[in-house]
Amino acid sequence: MKSRRFCLVLALAIMPLSAQTLADSLTQVRLVDPLDEPEYYCLDLSGWGENLKLEDPLQAHTCKTRGADDQMFILRDNKILVGDTGRCLQVGVSSGKPLAGVAILARDCVDSPLQLLALEDNGQISVSGSDLCLAAGNESTDASGPSHVWRVLTAQPCDTTSAALSTWQVGL
């Protein structure tokens, strides 16, 4: 009996958590592949604390210690809420629709398909009604923090974007 219980606990510990499991919990969203950053990349707002830059596009940035308010999100009803800001992740648009390469923004939560983002079974975060997924950029740049780096975060075609740049893990 003990070995079965251990196996079940181990299986649950290594199993990726779904958006449903994480509803209403503040959590980080991290790329599965560390790329060139041993501390991994997480979804990130520019700034920190009272200096959050909510109007700037989001980025993939070195993951910080748990509880960093610029990297805490809530997954609820196919939306990704930005901590307790009242904002949701939203895909930018060009000519009224999301296109490959558009930025990911933090905007007031509203009833909009541009805010419908689903964590797929393969770890991609897809944009409702499109073939786009959230993806980190190909190149990293030094950030202001000690040993921190960042990459752009954009919407890219799910089927042709490298899994290393578009496979996310939720609930670290």
What is the pLDDT at residue 6? 30
pTM of full prediction above 0.85: no
Measured between its terminal Cα atoms, the distance across the chain in Å is 29
Instruction: Report how far residue 132's alpha carbon sits from residue 20's, in angstroms, rounded to the nearest whole number.
Output: 21
- Return the higher-pLDDT residue of 96 and 62: 62
pLDDT band at 15 (very low <50, low <70, confident <90, very high): very low
Please say whether the beta carbons of 155 and 115 come within 8 A: no
pLDDT reading at 132 higher than 70: yes
Q: Which residue has the higher pLDDT, 82 or 147?
A: 82
How many beta carbons lie within 10 A of that of residue 107, not counting itself? Answer: 18
Is residue 3's pLDDT more than 70?
Answer: no
Encoded tokens for 61 = 């940035």
pLDDT > 90? residue 43: yes
For 17-170, CATH number?
Answer: 2.80.10.50
- Give the amino acid at 73: F
Q: Which DSSP letter does residue 118 get? A: E
Query: At 48, is the pLDDT very low, low, confident or very high (cuts 50, 70, 90)?
Result: confident
CA 151 to chain centre: 13
Average pLDDT, the chain: 84
